[in-house]
A and B are shown apart, each in its own frame.
Chain A
Amino acid sequence: MQLFVVQLLSGLASAASLFLVASGLSLIFGVTRIVNFAHGAFFMLGAYLTFTLTDRFGGPLGFWGGMALAAVLVGLLGGLFEILLLRRIYRAPELFQLLATFGATLIVQDLVLLIWGPEDLLAPRAPGLSGAIDVLGKRVPSYDIFLILLGPLVLALLWLILHRTRWGMLVRAATQDRDMVAALGVNQKWLFTGVFALGTFLAGLGGALQAPREAVDHTMDLRVIVEIFVVVVIGGLGSIEGAFVAAILVSLLNAFGILILPKISLVLVFLLMAVVLVVRPRGLFGRREGAARMSGGAIMSVWKPLDRDGRIVASAVVVAAALAPLALGPYGLAVATEIAIFVLFAASLHLLVSVGGLPSFGHAAFLGLGSYGAALAVKMLGLPMAPALVAGPLLAALGAAVIGWFAVRLSGVYAAMLTLAFAQILWSIAFQWAPVTGGDNGLLGIWPASWAASAAHLYWLTLALVILAIGALRMIIFSPFGYALRAARDSDLRSEAIGVNRRDVQWRAFVIAGAGAGLAGALFAFLKGSVFPDTMGVSTSIDGLVMVLLGGVETVSGPIVGASVYKLLSIWLVSHTDYSKLVLGLVIIGLVLLFPKGIVGSFPLLHPRRVAPREKAAA
């Protein structure tokens, strides 16, 4: 009973900070329709600034003042971020907005390292609340009690702002119908900036309040972002009350999960989210989203299979790639093999994102399943390399069949969040199920068979399989199935009216894409000789999206070019600078702002046939 109460109070205290951050994200989404990936970064900045400011000023006034100042500074930064970046991409597809905010996250991560260094920092205890009080004979930090009381207080304040002020009324109106609010003469620009500043202020405050509770470190942004995504999705995007209820649910589940089911504690939260989404596809308190903004995401160019020139270029690339071992040493070949693997990874994601219009934020799950499938086939079943290369894609396709079944039943952002959640579930399983997966230590000793052991042989094998797989993907894109997939993306109404079963088609696309990524993962396991949970991490999923975007979302060959360039760039950056994330973040943001069509899309020379119909029409 004592333990129960202590866990309950500790869970509720965590919920307060989580609620603050999540309500900010929900508020921002409700009005701007942007899922702010950088929200975790603002949270982290709040914590770091609190550390510095409370340290600088000292004393009770300095402590509480420093905390408030940190949150205000974060809010101002958020406003600036909105003015400089987001204003330019409100009409861009969701994918671009998420990538831009993710780019900002990368930049902040390196800036934090640069300014505060890699060590964990401990902010001072709250003056006057550093003690503990007795609850049923157990000592509970009084700061926790303060947080538990603060949560509902903030909820009440937010409610008052939203329901009792003119500004709040505008915010609520914009949440329901932005275009109508604009038509009524409200200056949307400043409304959006204001909402974004308030949202990021809440994130900063959440970080500030967390600082005296636990160590401040430079990975807390990604940890919290996944958690608050789960919270807002469970609560319903755009709902403050939902964020409150969901924050408590999630925190309590975390607090008690560790006690009751320690082996799967990490999975519980994501399971809760999956269940909620299946039962209530818009979250507990979510309503139908307001009038959709004008979509800038429709892909309007007509795709054509390669013509003669295109085939010559493609053959030349294949021949050049096949001859690479003549010019490259073992290190160069390892890099080339890795590039080939990620080309396949990106191409399989492209089938979902570009062809199917299904924003997946968990594609790394299939890469990871492929890796673990192959590794476990070797380790547990004692299979040789060839069948292991089959087992990987099979396991990934199976995973994709399950994840896809859920994802095609949800729309837009919720589907993306669900794929993210499933990827995190798999990551948690790989992380926690140590007897089978090796946990954090991974599985080691997954070496290629003797016939593929040399760097050149493994490279050739990888290249051959990747070329086959990409050929198959291209064939599928131009097959009747590929057209049905695009039909379902272009117009749900029309495709249903001509007999296309959208869910079925999209589900099959998930399975195919999963198998493709799984093959990439299996090859990756043999290239590295090992498998780690991080293969399935969020950042791998995002990497894939950046590759597709970099190459050009609206093109067929984009992912091949995008993955090659991105992988080369990131490998080069890691070996030449300590701040690769900073550069990468800037590259991503620059890309979204300046080259939204990507490399292939921006240079029509690379795909001469695509402009042909227009010329003919003009002639």
Chain B
Amino acid sequence: MSALLEAHDLAKAYGGVHAVRGVSLDVSPSEIVALIGPNGAGKSTCFNMLNGQIRPDAGTVRLDGRDITGWLPREVWRLGVGRTFQVAATFASMSVIENVQMALLSHAGRASRLWGLATRADRDRAEALLALVGMARQAERPSAELAYGDLKRLELAMALANNPRLLLMDEPTAGMSPRDRVELMALTAEIAREKNLGVLFTEHDMDVVFRHADRILVLSRGQLIAEGRPDEVRTNPEVQAIYLGEGLTYHSGVGS
């Protein structure tokens, strides 16, 4: 099997609450997979186990066949996994380009160097990454004053700094305006296809999910209840009952 990411039988409990129970999933290179489910279904827990934010109680995570269960996020990152967060996490005291330069420096293994100006390091590549996400003109602005949508773009640029093979995006469009959402996901999809990246993302906006995902995984009460192409999932009666039936979704306006 040529899966890029393979999770097998992941489980996590908090006290008596089983947040995730026996979830298995996989992502292939250049495939965009969406992980959806109602609030509290265990999406974020699942997600955080994949890149080492949370240590699973049971199960394994493999990247390119290598067991990375229980590895630290920074170790997983070294293997070529980029990560964005539900609430954008960037370095508020730095300018936009410095944020990207920091990620590049760390990728090059030069983050503990005591000499040389960090602001001169890898400027070209940092600029190219910013251009890729459409942030070239904002390079010198303090990141603390960016609009939220731009902050998410910056996060994407940082997540791409280590030439990842896999992108993990936890609600990449949360908190954004509807227009920004569509744009950011279209951009991500474009980059993913261009660079042959696997992408796994969680999302509440069904518009975004059905438009860009190649495959959809549906999580409910910590378990996978369905999996398939968007049209399969849309017509799956179990999904409709458990997920769509809860009225937690927007009407899917595909094609509008």
Contacts and interface: CB of A to CB of B under 8 A. Distances in A.
B102 A483 contact: yes
B196 interface: no
A191 interface: no
Interface string A482-507: 11101101110111111111001100
B93 A481 contact: no
Contacts of A495: 91
A348 B155 CA distance: 32
A486 B111 contact: no
B95 to A, nearest CB: 5
A548 B66 CA distance: 48
Nearest to A492: B89
Interface string B64-82: 0000000011100110000
B111 A491 contact: no
A499 B119 contact: no
**In the complex, which of the residues B90, B93, B102, B103 has the most CB atoms of chain A within 10 Å of its own CB atom?**
B93
Nearest to B82: A497
A496 B140 CA distance: 24
Contact of A498 (B113, B116, B161): B161
Given A487-B91, A494-B158, A617 B141 contact: yes
Contacts of B74: 496-501
B45 to A, nearest CB: 16
Contacts of B51: 497
B112 interface: yes
Contacts of B73: 496-497
A512 to B, nearest CB: 8
Contacts, number: 129
A213 interface: no
Contacts of B161: 498
A501 B77 CA distance: 12
Looking at chain A's contact residues, is the secondary structure mostly helix, strand, loop, or mixed?
helix
Interface in A244-302: 298-302
A299 B142 CA distance: 11
B85 A494 contact: yes
B113 A500 contact: no
Interface string B127-166: 0000000000000111011000000000100110110000
Interface string A583-619: 0000000000000000000000000000001101100
A165 interface: no
Given A505-B112, A508-B112, A480 B121 contact: yes
Nearest to B78: A499
A365 B14 CA distance: 42
Interface string A460-494: 00000000000000011011111110110111011
B93 A302 contact: yes
A613 B162 CA distance: 27
A478 B78 contact: no
B31 to A, nearest CB: 22
B12 to A, nearest CB: 19
B207 interface: no
Contact of B92 (A490, A498, A499): A490
A385 B201 CA distance: 63
Contacts of A504: 112
B111 A490 contact: no
B236 interface: no
Given A303-B93, A490-B94, A482 B118 contact: yes
A493 B90 CA distance: 9
Interface in A29-87: none
A298 B93 contact: yes
A499 B73 CA distance: 7
A292 to B, nearest CB: 14
Contacts of A614: 142, 145
Nearest to A612: B140
Interface string B83-119: 1010001111111001001110111001111111111
When A and B form their complex, which 7 residue pairs have the shortest distance between CB atoms, in order from nearest? A494-B89, A490-B91, A483-B118, A300-B144, A484-B111, A499-B106, A498-B103
Given A480-B111, A499-B107, 14 more contacts: A302-B95, A478-B118, A479-B115, A480-B110, A484-B106, A489-B93, A490-B94, A491-B90, A493-B85, A496-B73, A496-B74, A498-B74, A498-B103, A613-B142
Interface of A: 298-305, 475-476, 478-484, 486-487, 489-491, 493-501, 504-505, 508, 613-614, 616-617
